[in-house]
């Protein structure tokens, strides 16, 4: 069965995958109060959902009050993550109180950082 079938938004490739990781992401968000948190994701899961991705899967998303504070228009992975976080009451509460930076590198290391007001004002 096509993995896109499980997405709740048409054309959104990674929503089902981010929903799978949502509990872990929420734990990382809570724990990021004491410093940046990292989690190793499985690259084959992303590649299975979109094997023709030419730009890669890396992204940086800075989110506050459910909205991106940086340009993520060309990063479907980040757009879908923001959508999934917006459907979570706990994530919405956390993003309402602070700005979070979510990054994923080429090795599929996912990092969550709670930014201080000083870090937010300089970006």
Q: How many domains does the chain have?
A: 1
Residue 49 lies in a domain: yes
Residue 5 counted as domain residue: no
In a domain, 81, yes or no: yes
| Alpha-carbon torsion (88, 92, 95, 97), positive or negative | negative
Q: Is residue 112 part of a domain?
A: no
Distance from CA of residue 67 to its chain's centroid?
12
Residue 38 lies in a domain: yes
The structure's pTM equals 0.87
Q: Assess if residue 107 is contained within a domain.
A: no
Residue 67 sits in which domain range? 11-100
Contacts of 45 (CB under 8 A, 6+ apart): 17
How does pLDDT run across 49-90, given as a tens digit for each residue?
999 888 889 999 999 999 999 999 999 999 999 999 999 999
Q: Is residue 4 part of a domain?
A: no
Has residue 50 been placed in a domain? yes
pLDDT digits (tens, 9 = 90+) for 34-57: 999 999 999 999 999 999 888 889
3-class DSSP state for residue 64?
strand
């Amino acid at each position: 069965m096509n993995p896109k079938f499980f997405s709740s938004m048409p054309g959104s490739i990674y929503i089902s995958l981010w929903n799978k990781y949502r509990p872990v992401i929420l734990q990382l968000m809570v724990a990021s109060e004491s410093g940046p948190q990292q989690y190793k994701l499985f690259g084959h899961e992303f590649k299975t959902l979109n094997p023709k991705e030419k730009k890669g899967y890396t992204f940086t998303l800075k989110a506050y009050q459910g909205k991106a504070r940086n340009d993520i228009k060309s990063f479907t992975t980040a757009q879908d993550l923001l959508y999934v976080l917006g459907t979570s009451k706990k994530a919405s509460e956390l993003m309402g109180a602070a700005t979070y930076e979510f990054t994923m590198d080429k090795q599929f290391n996912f990092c969550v950082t709670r930014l201080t007001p000083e870090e937010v004002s300089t970006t």
